[in-house]
Amino acid sequence: MKNCILLFLMSGMLLMSCGQGSNTKTTTTTTSDNVTTSIPVNNGKQLFMDNCARCHGLKQDKLGPALDGVLARWNNDSVKVAAFIQNSQQVITGGQNQYATALYHKWSDAPMPAFTNLKDGEIKAIFSYIQAGIE
Ligand code: HEC
């Protein structure tokens, strides 16, 4: 009888582990995202896909301009572009950057959301991705 209970318990555990098995797939994806997020060098594409791709393509305009060659449009001033990405409205309302203000009007005053959560290293990784130009 003891063995029976044990078997019963074990098959229950087996079933449970099966269930977990199918969940593991999603968990793995999340984990690998977390892993890439903590290594900001090669995760530019992932960060771009997660935060920017709904509005920007590299080669095609979407809700915002295509970002191919964007650093050159800002005279390679990556510090300024990073500040814009972190809080574009602050740059625009600050009125110091005519290019940014003109671009904002060109895009029908559509405000780009602020990305204050993105760290400098993460923005650098996004720049590397944009400059690599491989979609
Ligand atoms: C909700 C849409 C939206 C999202 C999401 C978004 N942007 Fe933008 N972005 C815009 C718009 C619209 C503009 C044009 C300027 C403006 O309207 O403020 C812009 C402009 C820019 C520019 C300047 C482009 C140029 O030609 O000089 C850069 C750089 C930029 N975005 C980078 C990013 C990055 C990097 C991300 C992700 C972290 C991002 N954007 C996410 C809408 C968005």
Residues near 46 by Cβ (< 8 Å), separated by ≥ 6? 33, 36, 37
Neighbour-count burial of 71, counting CB atoms closer than 10 A to its CB (0-12 exposed, 13-18 middle, 19+ buried): middle
CA distance 83 to 115: 9
Q: Which residues line ligand 1 (CB under 6 A)?
A: 51-52, 54-56, 63-65, 67, 70, 73, 81, 84-85, 88, 103-104, 107, 110-113, 115, 118, 126
- What pLDDT is stored for residue 96 in this prediction? 87
Give the Å distance between the CA of 125 and the centre of ligand 1.
16
Number of the ligand 1 atom closest to the C-alpha atom of 92: 18
pLDDT tier for residue 134 given thresholds of 50, 70 and 90:
confident
> 73: which 2 tokens?
């449009």
Residue 52 has pLDDT above 60, yes or no: yes
